[in-house]
Amino acid sequence: MRFTSLIAFFGLITSAQASLTATFKSGDTSVTTQVALPALLVTQGESPGTGLAPGPFTAVYQGILSIPKRYRAYFSVESQGTVTLKINGEDVTFIEGKSERLRLNPGETPIEIAYTSPENGSGFFRLYWEERREFPREPIPASAFTTGDKAPLDAAHLFASNNCIQCHAHDFGKSAMPELKYSGPNLTGIGDRTNEAWLTRWIAQPEKLKPTTTMPAMVDHTKPEGAQAAADIGAYLATMSSGKPATKTPDLSLAQKGGEHFHKLGCIACHSKPDADEPDYENGRVPLNNVATKFKGDTLIAFLKNPQEHHEAIKMPNFRFSDEEASSLASYLTKTSTGEHTPDPSEFPPGDAVRGKTLVDSLNCAACHEGLAPSTAKSPNIYDLKDWSAKGCLGPDEKRGKAPRLNLTVEEKKAITPAVLPSLKHDTVEAYTDRQIGALHCASCHNYNGQDPLLSKTHAETKSLLDHITATDERLIQSRPPLTHMGAMLHTSYIENMLLGQVDPGPRPWLEMRMPAFPLHAKHMAHGLGQHHGLAVSEPSREKPADDQVKIGEQLVGMTGYACVTCHAINDKPALAAFEVQGINFGQTHNRLRPGYYHQWMFNPARLVPDTKMPRYTNPDDGTGLRSDILEGDSQKQFEAVRRYIQSISK
């Protein structure tokens, strides 16, 4: 059985989670895609949409507003460029950026936002609404939109993720998709790390061991000559050794502790159990049942400590494991997967390393893998290929010739045509971030645009790994922050440091899970998450807050104000009475939060995170602060004073 679609596996935006259909047009060229929010930011010289060259452009967003009950709402816009809005087919007039009060009936209401950029091709817009009885002015959330349009296959992402460009000469320029530069693992010293039998089976049928792999099958293992070729290549790769003495295998007595870590860290969100009978084809989790047959000695421990060491573009993140964690996890994975490897009906003859070296050269394996001698095999320039579906990699099996067999469905192969080339040449950080949110399994652990994380339904699969623990403290809430608002919530600099694994201490030290590092993707994704919300790069302000605001803010966070210190520590001073709920240390807050999100959160936290334990400190009837005796009950002024106090104690 083959996993049916790499697009489904990568979790790219589909009609289930996309909110709006967006059509970008520049000159005579247009592209249509699915987006979550009516927001946009394009700086001068950047592409407005994947596949479009920089320059003046238009963008039209269409979808359905889902209104839970009758609203009387105002719409407003911030923009550089021209924005027009239609609600239910009627033009909405903005006066100084704000509409008149509009009646929205419960149910579905069509909405269309049209944007025209300035002549230099830069610009931005953000669309807001407010319903004075329900919520203050806020960006319209993704949860308010639906669309009936089905997201098309992302042919550019399929092309890039399958490393097609590694074999074919090209010149896409500086604005090309970053993934085009990614390659496969560095094979230097592969014989020190990996068993020959596993290498042979991997070369023969990679999708059998990992159904979601983008590694193509380079031989036809069903034929005697193909099985021999796989064995020969496996034998040659096994000789690529530094000659160092073999290391000891993991200490299996640590397996029980490793199982605890496996559960507590939520590994089951991205992986099926090491003793699972079948891969999780539906959710595309990476199997672990072949671990014991793959890794030599203690190399699994080294891999867990630094997954990127031999493969910069690997999707496995860096959890910054301690020696104890890596050793015990390796023990658990090795012990539990022993004897559970994927059955292989093929009979492989003994391999010949000399023939294998010749095959590696003729198959141009060096195009994707460092550590091999440059290949004498050459592939044609990508622009010289006309009918991609006639033969070769994307052709039918009987016309594929010596080309590799890609792990793609027939539909996916048909989607990859020469029309994809402009999309490869011009990319945006927003589109890159969308792709990586799927490819890196971000939504497996985090709620994203209203979709529950996969971990919510899979975590119970490994709960039995804690059965031996007689007493556990389950009081502390273990929920993880939603990804939905992350770009609007956090400063760009903080997101980048988080993705680089450089935030220490973490903001939620009580969580058993932890945010891993994705160093290769940090810079682009930090920018892209903000641009999803139409927001520019941001850093925390270094201005000195006014003393009078600081004083009032200190009063408000104290026990005579809103008693924030009950749950929130202030630098080295612990929270007074946090029990089930801890709050993030106020000493970290200023360096984390964008001011706009902070005020939106403070007005009504549950509107942003419905299951939050953070209480509301505004009156639901009129939005005033619950302390009417401070700053005349003006909640905005009160919360700004708190923000300024938090800024004053920031480290």
pLDDT of residue 132: 84
Q: 555 and 641 share a domain?
A: yes
Judging by beta carbons within 10 Å of its beta carbon (0-12, 13-18, 19+), is residue 243 exposed, middle or buried?
exposed
pLDDT of residue 543: 92
**Domain count of the fold of the chain:** 3
Residue 50 placed within a domain? yes
Confidence of residue 473 (pLDDT cuts 50, 70, 90): low
pLDDT of residue 153: 82
Rounded distance between C-alpha atoms, residue 636 and residue 619, angstroms: 12
Q: Look up the CATH number of the domain holding residue 96.
A: 3.90.182.10
Domain enclosing residue 563, as ranges: 547-648
Rounded distance between C-alpha atoms, residue 620 and residue 580, angstroms: 26
What percentage of the chain has pLDDT greater than the value 70? 95
Q: 32 and 90 share a domain?
A: yes
Residue 82 placed within a domain? yes
pLDDT of residue 3: 45
Rounded to an integer, the average pLDDT of 251-257 is 96
Tokens representing residue 445 in the block:
């652990």
Instruction: Give 398's DSSP letter.
Output: G
Residue 114 placed within a domain? yes
Per-residue pLDDT tens for 508-525?
Answer: 998 899 999 999 999 999
Within 10 angstroms of residue 8's Cβ, the number of other Cβ atoms is: 17
Q: Look up the CATH number of the domain holding residue 562.
A: 1.10.760.10
Q: 452 and 511 share a domain?
A: yes
pLDDT of residue 8: 44
pLDDT of residue 578: 66
pLDDT of residue 16: 38
Domain boundary among 531, 564, 588: 531
Residue 101 placed within a domain? yes
Instruction: Give 126's DSSP letter.
Output: E
- What long-range pairs does 566-573 form, CB within 8 A, spacing at least 24? 570/649, 571/649, 571/651
Least confident window among 370-379, 562-571, 592-601: 370-379
Confidence of residue 390 (pLDDT cuts 50, 70, 90): confident
Tokens representing residue 324 in the block:
């104890």
- Mean pLDDT, the chain, whole residue set: 91
Least confident window among 78-87, 183-192, 569-578: 569-578
Residue 568 in this model has a pLDDT that exceeds 60: yes
Residue type, 25: K
Residue type, 94: F
Domain boundary among 96, 124, 146: 146
Residue 284 placed within a domain? no
Residue 360 placed within a domain? no
Domain boundary among 146, 168, 191: 146
Q: 556 and 591 share a domain?
A: yes
Q: What are phi and psi of 286, to 5 degrees?
A: -80, 125
Rounded distance between C-alpha atoms, residue 30 and residue 57, angstroms: 9
Confidence of residue 174 (pLDDT cuts 50, 70, 90): confident
Per-residue pLDDT tens for 37-89?
Answer: 999 999 999 999 999 999 999 999 999 999 999 999 999 999 999 999 999 99
pLDDT of residue 176: 87
Least confident window among 15-29, 213-227, 593-607, 630-644: 15-29
Q: 596 and 515 share a domain?
A: no
Residue 572 in this model has a pLDDT that exceeds 90: yes
Within 10 angstroms of residue 271's Cβ, the number of other Cβ atoms is: 23
Which residue spans within 105-160 are E strands per DSSP?
A: 107-116, 123-131, 135-139, 145-146
Residue 257 placed within a domain? no
Angle at alpha carbon of residue 490, lines to 118 and 549, rounded to 5°: 100
Give the end-to-end CA distance of the chain in Å, rounded to a whole number: 54
620: Cβ–Cβ under 8 A, 6 or more apart, which residues? none
Q: 447 and 519 share a domain?
A: yes
Residue 221 in this model has a pLDDT that exceeds 80: yes
- What long-range pairs does 473-481 form, CB within 8 A, spacing at least 24? 475/579, 475/580, 476/510, 476/580, 476/582, 477/580, 477/581, 477/582, 477/613, 478/511, 478/512, 478/513, 479/611, 480/445, 480/446, 480/447, 480/453, 480/511, 480/513, 481/446, 481/508, 481/609
pLDDT of residue 17: 52
Q: 142 and 23 share a domain?
A: yes
DSSP per-residue codes, 245-268: PPPPPP-GGGHHHHHHHHHHTTGG
Full-model pTM: 0.93
Residue 122 placed within a domain? yes
Q: What are phi and psi of 360, to 5 degrees?
A: -60, -40
Yes or no: say if 58 and 25 are a contact pair by the CB < 8 Å rule: yes
pLDDT of residue 230: 97
Least confident window among 77-86, 323-332, 388-397, 552-561: 388-397
Better pLDDT: 477 or 29: 29
Q: 26 and 141 share a domain?
A: yes
Angle at alpha carbon of residue 448, lines to 278 and 321, rounded to 5°: 65
pLDDT of residue 478: 79
